């Protein structure tokens, strides 16, 4: 039986949206557009993605490794104050300072009392965390100091902190005790002096090229990564893929495509299907993309820093970048390349809808 496929565009107008049908109110307008693709052809790349063939993705991209999600870490910001939930301390350090020759005082998230430890012991577990909410196009807004290590080692360190500081914690003793119980850690740090592209694993997958200057940087599960390594082309590859991923976001926004909640490696498959791959793009175009991306990584902090704040919709950053000449040139360069490969706007829209589109949201 032949199954026809349609793309539904929903206009909510001034009505209220809710994931719960019972809470959604008002009428909405739905426009249906017939897709000129068979059901089997539409599903094939998605089925391949979930059937294990994604192992070939890193080879296709010409990179060392694709990490669809970062490290599994529980206890980053501690327990939230929710009904029926008990609060506990977080691994994030709100402030720390060295006292004397070898003593450090610091606070853990959700705690008001300071902890003390010998500086050498403290710095062994002191790391830098890059969370999803601080990744913007071509720009990392800030990182967080936090405690990280192999799970049992980290738990033992927290137990040691509790023993050393129990007499001064008072009622906050329980906050640290619960953290020891709740904390879960897996994974490893990013490699020092090797290039990565980091992007938001969820919703609007803004991307940035990044080269750690220490082996202390960590990404949690809400961040995805492409590991370029440290070969002679790794820097250029990082700038190239950061640019092309941000270009996909910009195109999706221009098409008014809503983003699926969990992206994982989906955007990378969209790049592959559109042939926006390092080894396939001609050298002249590739060099231009790299140069523009490097320039945008330099300019983005000054452009975005004054606008970025907690809770801001990352899509707004693309609107601000859309008025910058270098970003306009990047979009024009990639649009021109896709036109040369005979990719029409409707085909690009269909590829993006299939791979990164989904439920309403950011």
Give the separation between CA 215 and CA 191, rounded to whole angstroms. 6
Give the separation between CA 136 and CA 138, rounded to whole angstroms. 6
Count Cβ neighbours within 10 Å for each residue of 246-267 and write b for 16 or more, e otherwise: bbbbbbbbebebbbbeebbbbb
- With 0-12 CB in 10 A as exposed, 13-18 as middle and 19+ as buried, what is 25? exposed
**Domain ranges, residue 99:** 73-129+149-185
Whether 171 maps to a domain, the answer reads yes
In a shared domain, residues 60 and 78: no
Task: Name the helix (H) or strand (E) containing 323.
Answer: none
In a shared domain, residues 167 and 316: no
Taking residue 305's Cβ as centre, other Cβ atoms within 10 Å add up to 12
Whether 269 maps to a domain, the answer reads yes
Q: Could you give the 3-state DSSP secondary structure of residue 163?
A: helix
Range list of H helices, the chain: 39-50, 57-61, 119-125, 151-169, 173-182, 234-254, 266-273, 283-304, 315-321, 325-340, 345-356
Q: Given this model, what pLDDT does residue 307 score?
A: 79
Q: Which residues contact 175 (CB under 8 A, 6 or more apart)?
A: 78, 87, 88, 89, 108, 110, 111
In a shared domain, residues 164 and 119: yes
> How far is CA 172 from each of CA 87, 129, 255, 288, rounded to the nearest angstrom?
10, 24, 51, 56
Taking residue 160's Cβ as centre, other Cβ atoms within 10 Å add up to 12
The distance of Cα 135 from the centroid of its chain, to the nearest Å, equals: 6
Phi, psi of 21 (to 5 degrees): -60, -30
Q: Which residues contact 269 (CB under 8 A, 6 or more apart)?
A: 45, 49, 54, 57, 355
β-strand partners of 116: 105
Cβ(250)–Cβ(272) below 8 Å: no
Q: Given this model, what pLDDT does residue 14 score?
A: 61
In a shared domain, residues 88 and 157: yes
Give the separation between CA 169 and CA 188, rounded to whole angstroms. 31
In a shared domain, residues 49 and 88: no
Whether 296 maps to a domain, the answer reads yes
Whether 114 maps to a domain, the answer reads yes
Sign of CA dihedral 323, 326, 328, 334: negative
State the total domains in the chain.
Answer: 2
Whether 26 maps to a domain, the answer reads no
In tens digits, the chain (362 residues) has pLDDT values of: 456 677 676 766 665 555 444 445 566 677 777 766 665 566 555 555 544 455 689 999 999 999 999 999 999 999 765 656 789 999 999 989 999 888 999 999 999 999 999 999 999 999 999 999 999 999 999 999 999 999 999 999 999 999 999 999 999 999 999 999 999 999 999 999 999 999 999 999 999 999 999 999 999 999 999 999 999 999 999 999 999 999 999 999 999 999 999 999 999 999 999 999 999 999 999 999 999 999 999 999 888 887 787 667 898 999 889 889 999 999 999 999 999 998 899 999 999 999 999 744 44
Whether 219 maps to a domain, the answer reads no
pTM of the predicted model as reported, rounded to 2 decimal places: 0.84
The distance of Cα 253 from the centroid of its chain, to the nearest Å, equals: 17
Q: Given this model, what pLDDT does residue 83 score?
A: 55
In a shared domain, residues 59 and 178: no
In a shared domain, residues 79 and 46: no
Give the separation between CA 139 and CA 295, rounded to whole angstroms. 12
Q: Could you give the 3-state DSSP secondary structure of residue 97?
A: strand
In a shared domain, residues 345 and 262: yes
In a shared domain, residues 206 and 301: yes
Q: Given this model, what pLDDT does residue 32 score?
A: 79
In a shared domain, residues 201 and 342: yes
In a shared domain, residues 207 and 277: yes
Cβ(182)–Cβ(79) below 8 Å: yes
User: Which residue from 221, 218, 265 is spatially nearest to 245, judged by alpha carbons?
Assistant: 265
Give the separation between CA 358 and CA 190, rounded to whole angstroms. 30
> How far is CA 67 from each of CA 1, 40, 58, 122, 198, rounded to the nearest angstrom?
39, 28, 9, 29, 9
In a shared domain, residues 265 and 351: yes
Output DSSP code: residue 195: E
Whether 10 maps to a domain, the answer reads no
Whether 102 maps to a domain, the answer reads yes
End-to-end CA distance of the chain: 36
Q: Could you give the 3-state DSSP secondary structure of residue 9?
A: strand
């Amino acid at each position: 039986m032949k199954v026809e496929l349609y793309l539904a565009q929903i206009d909510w107008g001034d009505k209220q949206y809710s994931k719960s049908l019972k809470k959604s109110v008002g009428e909405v307008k739905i426009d249906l557009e017939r897709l000129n693709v068979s059901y089997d052809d539409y599903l094939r790349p998605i089925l391949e993605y979930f059937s294990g063939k994604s192992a070939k993705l890193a080879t296709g991209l010409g990179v060392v490794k694709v990490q669809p999600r970062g490290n599994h870490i529980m206890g980053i910001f501690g327990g939230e104050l929710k009904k029926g939930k008990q609060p506990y301390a977080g691994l994030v350090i709100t402030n720390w300072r060295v006292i004397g020759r070898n003593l450090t005082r610091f606070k853990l998230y959700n705690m008001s009392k300071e902890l003390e430890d010998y500086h050498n012991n403290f710095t062994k577990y002191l790391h830098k965390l890059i969370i999803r909410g601080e990744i913007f196009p071509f720009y990392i807004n800030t990182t967080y100091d936090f405690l990280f290590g192999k799970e049992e080692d980290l738990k033992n360190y927290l137990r040691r902190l509790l023993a050393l500081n129990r007499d001064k914690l008072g009622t906050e003793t329980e906050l640290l005790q619960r953290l020891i119980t709740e904390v879960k850690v897996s994974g490893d740090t990013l490699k020092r002096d090797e290039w990565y592209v980091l992007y938001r694993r969820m919703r609007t997958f803004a991307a940035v090229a990044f080269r750690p200057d220490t082996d202390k940087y960590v990404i949690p599960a809400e961040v995805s990564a492409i590991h370029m390594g440290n070969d002679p082309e790794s820097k250029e590859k990082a700038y190239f893929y950061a640019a092309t991923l941000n270009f996909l976001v910009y195109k999706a926004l221009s098409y008014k495509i809503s983003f699926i909640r969990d992206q994982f490696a989906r955007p990378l498959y969209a790049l592959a299907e559109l042939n926006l791959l390092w080894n396939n793009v001609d050298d002249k175009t590739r060099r231009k993309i790299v140069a523009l991306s490097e320039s945008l990584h330099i300019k983005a902090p000054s452009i975005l820093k004054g606008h970025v704040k907690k809770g801001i919709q990352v899509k707004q950053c693309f609107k601000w970048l859309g008025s910058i000449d270098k970003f306009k040139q990047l979009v024009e360069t990639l649009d021109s390349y896709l036109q040369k490969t005979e990719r029409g706007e409707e085909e690009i829209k269909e590829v993006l809808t299939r791979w990164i589109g989904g439920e309403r949201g950011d």
